[in-house]
Amino acid sequence: MDISLSGRTAFVSGSTQGIGKAIARGLAAAGARVVVNGRDQQRVDAVRDELAAQVADSDIVGVAADVATADGVERLLAELPAVDILVNNLGIFGPKPVLDVTDEEWLHCFEVNVLSGIRLARAYLPGMTERGWGRVQFLASDSAVVIPAEMVHYGVTKTALLGVSRGYAKAVAGTGVTVNTVVAGPTKTEGVEKFVGELVGEDLEWTEAESRFMREHRPNSLLQRLIRPEEIANMVVYLSSEQASATTGGALRVDGGYVDAILP
């Protein structure tokens, strides 16, 4: 399948590391003009330059803005008033017993993981529908359906994204714009490596730590390893393409078979 995103502008929130960075790289490789995003200007510039060096003839720019806040979204919109592809990747997570999670922590988790995407979709969807083409994606997680006991607050925010995505898809029905959720499984990122160390012991060699984590904490995985960020990015690139024109309102799994269900 020859996917070309030439002539499209894509914005990926929280794309200076991990899955977001891999998505930005994948979209750029497919020909899109890609806007890298993070809170720190130096970090954004560094990742922009890194990706530009990795993807020949790419068009990659960076916008530093904290899109987990209303002010940050306004700052972004001032620099980037329209996009063709919106990937709501920004998210935070961390283990904590659910009875110890404070109101402030619940609210912060929702602000970052849910409201950031809601605000961005609300801002960019009208322009997409007016032009008759657009792609919006929310990055959810297997934790949306298999709530992890060690971080219920994170799982609940990802569950919310499934409803948000479906609702926005209905709002733009018949316009040529698609809205979907990508349900990512346990993925090897910088944050997850730290998370794995906290759960199974930071003194273990990585291969052993990964194996123990999957065996003890993610035993449902059919892949029996952590997913690599580029494997998530492949799905995002496809959903951003012309070829995915009939896929909307869905929750598409790239979870290594972790969720024990036949239907998506």
Nearest to 256 by CA among 238, 232, 234, 236: 232
Annotated active-site residue 154? The verdict is yes
With a CB cutoff of 8 Å and minimum separation 6, the contacts of 34 are: 9, 10, 11, 12, 24, 27, 28, 51, 58, 59, 60, 61
Residue 217's alpha-carbon distances to 37, 148, 155, 188, 195, in angstroms, are 31, 9, 15, 14, 11
124/83 Cα distance (integer angstroms) = 7
CA 113 to chain centre: 10
Nearest to 183 by CA among 236, 116, 108, 126: 236
The catalytic position among 154, 168, 238, 258 is: 154
With a CB cutoff of 8 Å and minimum separation 6, the contacts of 156 are: 147
Residues annotated as part of the active site? 154
